[in-house]
């Protein structure tokens, strides 16, 4: 008997006398033991991050559409920033028509709302393009929607104008007062933007009212730039200053299109020495990447008052040309 025959007989004997699963293999002539190789190599962290980022939850367009049709105005910004589908919905005509119908449509047979001016009535906005419709519906909401109406009554701080680009300044005399009107525009409305950024300052609580409607995420075709938006005042904010003394505008701010733009860097409200009035100071800085940018300060002493008017404010068109 050879060595192989003895080995096979020995293995057969061991399997036959064993219990459990080993007895099953007693009828087999050959027994193979295969070791499973376990790799000790670890997945790179970068690959794990890519796998995590590649996971997306695909929600159907119909689901987003039904949610959009029941949004409240203060939730529009949060909804628009969820994904591309929600951004497109907020940029659509049907979204803003539905928003107008729910909050601004009057109870009369023709849909007239006595709280709205004539240019914001249903018949006037029915045939306008999507960009103009969006702007007019936002204006109408500040007339009809209670939280936004309350926000207008509280007013806007002059610091809300920081980092906006100076456009123009006009001065006219009214009785014994000088009315100075500064026009400033959001930076993203000047340059082409790929991502929408919030210009309204610090993020507010979820239950508060959105102050910056330019922060709505949307298609680049619906940006507030003057070359693209048919509503030319969208993105413009006015600063109205009333004072008794005439203050000429610095020559540096009387620039043409070939010169660098200026943006508002800082504002200061200082109490007068007699404690009866305030002084207002505005610091403008040249908007370029140079380290030695030109800075200009305009000082108004003993102002009567000032007021900040966003483009959706009901009094905005009283001062804009």
**CA-angle at 206, arms to 200 and 210, nearest 5°:** 35
Distance CA 57, CA 51 (A): 14
Q: pTM here?
A: 0.65
The pair of structure tokens assigned to 186 is 């959001």
> How many domains would you assign to the chain?
3
Tell me which residue range forms the domain holding 298: 157-186+235-319
Claim to verify: residue 142 and residue 268 sit in the same structural domain:
no
pLDDT of residue 238: 92
Claim to verify: residue 88 and residue 102 sit in the same structural domain:
yes
Q: Which residues sit opposite 239 in a β-bridge? A: 182, 308
pLDDT of residue 119: 85
pLDDT of residue 281: 92
Cβ neighbours of residue 9 closer than 8 Å, sequence gap 6 or more: 1
With respect to residue 204, please indicate whether it lies within any of the assigned structural domains: no
With respect to residue 1, please indicate whether it lies within any of the assigned structural domains: yes
Claim to verify: residue 129 and residue 251 sit in the same structural domain:
no
Exposed/middle/buried for residue 2 (C-beta within 10 Å: 0-12, 13-18, 19+): exposed
**Contact, 215 vs 225, CB < 8 A?**
no
Claim to verify: residue 23 and residue 134 sit in the same structural domain:
no
**CA-angle at 59, arms to 57 and 61, nearest 5°:** 150
Backbone φ/ψ region at 285: left (φ over 0), alpha (ψ -120 to 50), beta: beta
pLDDT of residue 239: 93
Claim to verify: residue 301 and residue 162 sit in the same structural domain:
yes
pLDDT of residue 30: 55
Claim to verify: residue 176 and residue 278 sit in the same structural domain:
yes
Claim to verify: residue 71 and residue 174 sit in the same structural domain:
no
Buried/exposed code over 143-166 (b: 16+ C-beta within 10 A; e: otherwise) = bbbeebeebbeeebebebbbebbb
Claim to verify: residue 166 and residue 273 sit in the same structural domain:
yes
pLDDT of the chain along its 321 residues, tens only?
565 666 677 766 666 565 555 555 555 555 555 666 666 655 565 555 455 445 454 556 678 888 888 888 888 888 888 888 888 888 889 999 999 998 888 666 566 777 888 888 888 888 888 888 988 898 889 888 888 888 888 888 888 899 898 988 888 988 888 999 999 988 655 443 333 334 333 333 344 445 555 555 334 444 444 434 556 788 889 999 999 888 888 888 876 555 678 889 999 988 888 888 899 999 998 877 666 778 889 999 989 889 999 888 888 888 876
**Contact, 171 vs 202, CB < 8 A?**
no
Claim to verify: residue 254 and residue 277 sit in the same structural domain:
yes
Claim to verify: residue 94 and residue 142 sit in the same structural domain:
yes
With respect to residue 202, please indicate whether it lies within any of the assigned structural domains: no
């Amino acid at each position: 008997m050879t060595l192989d025959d003895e080995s096979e007989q020995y293995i057969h004997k061991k399997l036959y006398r064993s219990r459990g699963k080993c007895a099953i293999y007693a009828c087999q002539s050959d027994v193979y033991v295969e070791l499973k190789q376990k790799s000790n190599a670890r997945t790179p962290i970068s690959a794990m991050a890519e796998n995590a980022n590649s996971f997306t939850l695909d929600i159907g367009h119909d689901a987003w559409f039904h949610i959009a049709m029941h949004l409240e105005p203060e939730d529009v910004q949060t909804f628009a920033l969820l994904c591309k589908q929600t951004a497109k919905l907020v940029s659509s005509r049907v979204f803003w028509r539905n928003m107008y119908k729910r909050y601004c449509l009057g109870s009369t047979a023709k849909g007239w709302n006595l709280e709205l001016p004539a240019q914001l009535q249903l018949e006037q906005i029915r045939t306008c393009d999507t960009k103009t419709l969006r702007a007019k519906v936002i204006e109408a909401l500040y007339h009809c929607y209670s939280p936004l109406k309350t926000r207008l009554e509280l007013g806007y701080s002059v610091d809300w104008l920081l980092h906006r680009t100076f456009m123009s300044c006009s001065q006219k005399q009214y009785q014994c007062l000088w009315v100075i009107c500064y026009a400033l525009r959001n930076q993203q409305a000047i340059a082409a933007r790929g991502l929408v950024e919030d210009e309204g300052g610090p993020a507010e609580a979820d239950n508060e009212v959105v102050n910056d409607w330019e922060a709505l995420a949307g298609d680049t075709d619906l940006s507030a730039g003057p070359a693209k938006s048919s509503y030319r005042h969208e993105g413009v904010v006015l600063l109205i200053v009333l004072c008794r003394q005439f203050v000429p505008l610095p020559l540096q701010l009387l620039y043409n299109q070939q010169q660098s733009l200026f943006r508002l860097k800082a504002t200061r409200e200082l109490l007068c020495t007699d404690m009866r009035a305030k002084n207002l100071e505005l610091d403008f800085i040249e908007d370029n990447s140079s380290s030695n940018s030109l800075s200009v300060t305009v000082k108004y002493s003993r102002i009567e008052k000032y007021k900040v008017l966003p483009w959706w404010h009901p009094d905005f068109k009283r001062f804009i040309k």
